[in-house]
Structure 1
Amino acid sequence: MATAYCMKCRKKVEIKNPKQVALRNNSLAVQGVCSVCGAKVFRIGKA
């Protein structure tokens, strides 16, 4: 499972419902929901 830093929780959390997205410069990222508080989290590079 992927992890990302949650700005709301201020810690690294597991990403719930991870989706791989492509940025404008064609690099990959993972977008999902924080498993603790439900906020949006985003991780660039680790897709």
Structure 2
Amino acid sequence: TTYRNLLYIYPQSLNFANRQGSARNITVKVQFMYGEDPSNAMPVS
């Protein structure tokens, strides 16, 4: 048996208004889902 896991990252919003200097920090929110509809988001335990 072979399992293949893929992680797709899509930005929901970007805000560069408060960017100072050359900071390149990125915050990522990971949400596990069992379908593409937002109502299919899995609860956090």
Shorter chain as denominator, the TM-score bin is under 0.3
Greater helix content: 2
Which protein shows a greater Rg? 2
Greater strand content: 1
Per the normalisation by structure 1, the TM-score is 0.22
Per the normalisation by structure 2, the TM-score is 0.23
Where relative contact order (Cα < 8 A, 6+ residues apart) is larger, the structure is 1
